Structure 1
Amino acid sequence: MLHQHTISQLQALRLEGMVLGLQEQFTQRASDDLSFEERLGLLVDRELTYRENKKQARLLKSAKLKVSTACLEDVDYRPGRGLDKKQVASFASCDWIRGAQSILLTGPAGVGKTWLASALGLQACRSGFSALNMRVPRIFEELRVAHADGTFTRKLQSIAKVDLLILDDWGLHPLNQEERSDLLEIMDDRVGTKSTIITSQLPVEHWHEYLNDPTLADAILDRIVHQSHKIKLKGESMRKQEVENTAETVKKQKAS
């Protein structure tokens, strides 16, 4: 009865981690030999771990990462991909996010730009930063709706709060004047305060021409390119390689 009362009190205080820890101590007799201070310390550690895991799960859900299984530990550094192992390893600390720096990932289709962006987004969530992955066409579609229903300012504010914004598929479609203006608003909110990852098949040196408005292009790129790490991925399509490897595996299985 006393145990249940304590659990009810902890639940009322929303200390769910301590509830789980206490229940574990009740069922694991090894804890009987521990002192009060040791058992209390274990409960506090359990609560902290519970909160950290819950926060990370919430951040990952909100991030909407394109490749949920991607992580920096699994980065493929095979020769010819254009990846510097030391540079990528340095991103794991997320100091680049603390310093409001950005990463520009460019390269042909299928070389792993979105995968690497997702891995960096996962690492950000692991470190307690909020992230949001959006395809560029989708974000402009949502902003267009926001203009129409009067929620544009609120939408911009919600994007501005995100520690790491991942803009995927930059440069696939031409932008109109309203989209260019919206893009400037997004980047202006983030410069010097938040980080952005941009993935694009279009080389950075062609972005000014892509934006197709000298004045706005200068303003937008001034907020994007400076204080950014640039990674040019190379090589054949990894998706094509995966298909070929799968086909080869199936062929070997049939032969055996």
Structure 2
Amino acid sequence: MIDLTTVKELRALRLPGMARELESQLEDPQRYKTLSFEERLALLVDAESVSRRKNTIQRRIHEAKLSESQACVEAIEYHEDRELDKGLITKLATCAYIRDNHHVILKGATGAGKSYIAN
């Protein structure tokens, strides 16, 4: 009973990642019984940290209002008529241009995939 209260309190404190991890630990106590208090606490903190990073990324993708939010470099189709330089696109995908303070301008015909690549 006290464990369920703790889970509820974690949710009330807006720590859902920790709450989910604690529930997981409570469902399978044998799996975690060999761990020390510090190790179990570290698992809870890690779960919350991962949850927050994931939520931040999802929120930023949503706020960016990308037209192709699921776009990925691997899905680009390099048809001959599109005249895409695969090496250049792969280099741009590393985002080194941001670190080097460079700008990127995409130009091409309608339907060439500029918006997709920008996403």
**TM-score if structure 1 supplies the norm length?**
0.41
Partner in structure 2 of residue 240 of structure 1: none
C-alpha distance after superposition, 1:194-215 (max 9, x if no partner): xxxxxxxxxxxxxxxxxxxxxx
* Greater Cα radius of gyration, structure 1 or 2: 1
Q: Distance in 2 between matches of 1:37 and 1:83?
A: 52
Identical amino acids, percent of aligned pairs: 40
Q: How does 1:90-101 map to 2 (within 5 A)?
A: 90-101=91-102
Partner in structure 1 of residue 5 of structure 2: 5
Amino acid aligned to 1:115:
Y
* Secondary structure in 2 matching 1:105: coil
Q: Distance in 2 between matches of 1:31 and 1:77?
A: 49
Q: Distance in 1 between matches of 2:77 and 2:23?
A: 43
Alignment gaps of 5+ in structure 2:
none
C-alpha distance after superposition, 1:51-76 (max 9, x if no partner): 01110111111111112331122122
Q: How does 1:199-238 map to 2 (within 5 A)?
A: none
Partner in structure 1 of residue 52 of structure 2: 51
Amino acid aligned to 1:7:
V
Partner in structure 2 of residue 69 of structure 1: 70
Partner in structure 2 of residue 237 of structure 1: none
**TM-score if structure 2 supplies the norm length?**
0.81
C-alpha distance after superposition, 1:166-225 (max 9, x if no partner): xxxxxxxxxxxxxxxxxxxxxxxxxxxxxxxxxxxxxxxxxxxxxxxxxxxxxxxxxxxx
* Secondary structure in 2 matching 1:47: helix
Structure 1 pair 78–22 and aligned structure 2 pair: CA distance change class (3 A): same
Aligned residues: 118
RMSD: 2.1
Q: Distance in 1 between matches of 2:16 and 2:112?
A: 43
C-alpha distance after superposition, 1:76-123 (max 9, x if no partner): 2344533233322222332323444322111111111111112xxxxx
* Secondary structure in 1 matching 2:69: coil
Q: Distance in 2 between matches of 1:10 and 1:83?
A: 50
Higher normalized contact order (CA 8 Å, seq sep 6+, divided by chain length) = 1
* Secondary structure in 2 matching 1:104: coil
Partner in structure 1 of residue 115 of structure 2: 114
Q: Distance in 1 between matches of 2:35 and 2:93?
A: 37
Q: Distance in 2 between matches of 1:54 and 1:79?
A: 39
Structure 1 or 2: more strand by fraction: 1
Amino acid aligned to 2:21:
G
